[in-house]
Homo-oligomer: A and B are copies of this chain.
Amino acid sequence: MRQVNIQLDQQGRLRHFLTIEGLKRQTLVDILDMAESFATVGEQTVKKVPLLRGKTIVNLFFESSTRTRTTFELAAKRLSADVLNINIAASATSKGESLLDMLANLEAMHCDMFVVRHADSGAAHFIARHVPEHISVVNAGDGRHAHPTQAMLDMFTIRRHKGEFGSLRVAIVGDLLHSRVARSQIHALTTLGALEVRVIGPRTLIPREIADLGVHIYHDMEQGLKDVDVIIMLRLQRERMQGALLPSEHEYYQRFGLTDEKLMIAKSDAIVMHPGPINRGVEIQSSVADGPQSVILEQVTNGIAVRMAVMAMVLGRQGEED
């Protein structure tokens, strides 16, 4: 079997986790199943399993993100791995060292995994193409491109609430243009066989090429939310807005904010998701975020289990080869 996907090793097993795109359905299901086995670890008195004891995991953050760094650090520690946090902005690049030389150094120290966060799309792939056999790379968000562990924790949360994907209508709402997680979600939902994936947002924030991914585009909540089982709200990336893509936050909220009223358009048992951090009163009404249909905090809890699963899977693979 010939594998050209850089994420897989020669046996077709997951070696890196860079993007959902190109992965098989079974690989995603394996991640979800393994995450299920870790989901109870967080509730135990001793929240630790010894799976990755003696492994060294490096959080390589070229872009600061306390929230994401924290979830990966917790997941790694609960797997008993050693964790190094390296903030590159404040680091060696100031001495003029190239990125590849810095990576080569970390590799020489026998690190096992790089968890990479970068403002540029494709950065995690670039790094994965240059690491030796014994290193795995996990993408913790790169530019507008992908945020695959976030998408997988969303899938995990959906499966826990809704079971199989084949009968589900899912709407992703908001700023698709700047969202790294939306692309990953669409790939995951499509691969897992969701009945229909819709994206809803203003024309300025929906890139045209997104239709190529097999989604239905809506510019109106009334129509877009009708009959959906799952609503995924996206964060309005105000800090990324450049120029006047939006008339005003107020008008945005009027048209695309998820209010109690708009929520009633969806199925009565629809769940509401959000990758966080939420902008209350901007893309979502507080009463919805905190309401009975919201599973936003469950997503956070599930994020630890899913990240543990991804880490254990890519590094466990190496163990099997020994």
Mark contacts of A5-43 with chain B using CB atoms, 8 A cut-off: 1 yes-contact digit, 0 otherwise.
000000000000000000000000000000000000011
Whether A277 sits at the interface, judged by CB under 8 Å, is: yes
Whether A2 sits at the interface, judged by CB under 8 Å, is: no
Partner of A48, one of B54, B297, B303: B54
A164 to B46, CA, bound (A): 38
Looking at the assembled complex, report how far the CB atom of A115 sits from the nearest CB atom of chain B, in whole angstroms.
Answer: 15
Given contacts A56-B74, A82-B77, A96-B238, contact A45 B108 (CB under 8 A): no
- What size tier do the contact residues of chain A reach? 35 or more
Whether A86 sits at the interface, judged by CB under 8 Å, is: yes
Whether A254 sits at the interface, judged by CB under 8 Å, is: no
Q: Is the CB of B105 within 8 A of A297?
A: yes
A107 to B280, CA, bound (A): 19
Inter-chain contacts of A47 with B (CB < 8 A): 54-56, 82, 110
Whether A127 sits at the interface, judged by CB under 8 Å, is: no
Q: Is the CB of A277 within 8 A of B54?
A: no
Partner of A277, one of B44, B48, B96: B96
A45 to B110, CA, bound (A): 11
Please tell me which stretch of A64-72, A137-145, A187-195 contacts chain B, meaning at least 4 of its Cβ atoms lie within 8 angstroms of it. Answer: A64-72
Given contacts A66-B86, A108-B300, 16 further A-B contacts (CB under 8 A): A42-B109, A43-B110, A46-B55, A47-B56, A48-B53, A56-B74, A67-B105, A74-B84, A92-B277, A98-B280, A101-B276, A104-B297, A104-B300, A109-B300, A109-B303, A109-B304
Whether A167 sits at the interface, judged by CB under 8 Å, is: no
Inter-chain contacts of A277 with B (CB < 8 A): 92, 95-97, 101-102, 105
Give the nearest-CB partner of A108 in chain B: B300
Give the nearest-CB partner of A290 in chain B: B104
Looking at the assembled complex, report how far the CB atom of A52 sits from the nearest CB atom of chain B, in whole angstroms.
Answer: 9
Whether A91 sits at the interface, judged by CB under 8 Å, is: yes
Inter-chain contacts of A238 with B (CB < 8 A): 96
Q: Is the CB of B74 within 8 A of A105?
A: no
Q: Is the CB of A110 within 8 A of B304?
A: yes
Whether A90 sits at the interface, judged by CB under 8 Å, is: yes
Inter-chain contacts of A56 with B (CB < 8 A): 47, 74, 77
A239 to B94, CA, bound (A): 10
A44 to B55, CA, bound (A): 9
Whether A73 sits at the interface, judged by CB under 8 Å, is: yes
Within 8 A of B (CB), among A223-257: 238-239
Whether A319 sits at the interface, judged by CB under 8 Å, is: yes
Inter-chain contacts of A71 with B (CB < 8 A): 109
A43 to B101, CA, bound (A): 21
Whether A279 sits at the interface, judged by CB under 8 Å, is: yes
Inter-chain contacts of A298 with B (CB < 8 A): 108
Partner of A110, one of B42, B67, B73, B110: B42
Give the nearest-CB partner of A66 in chain B: B91
Whether A204 sits at the interface, judged by CB under 8 Å, is: no
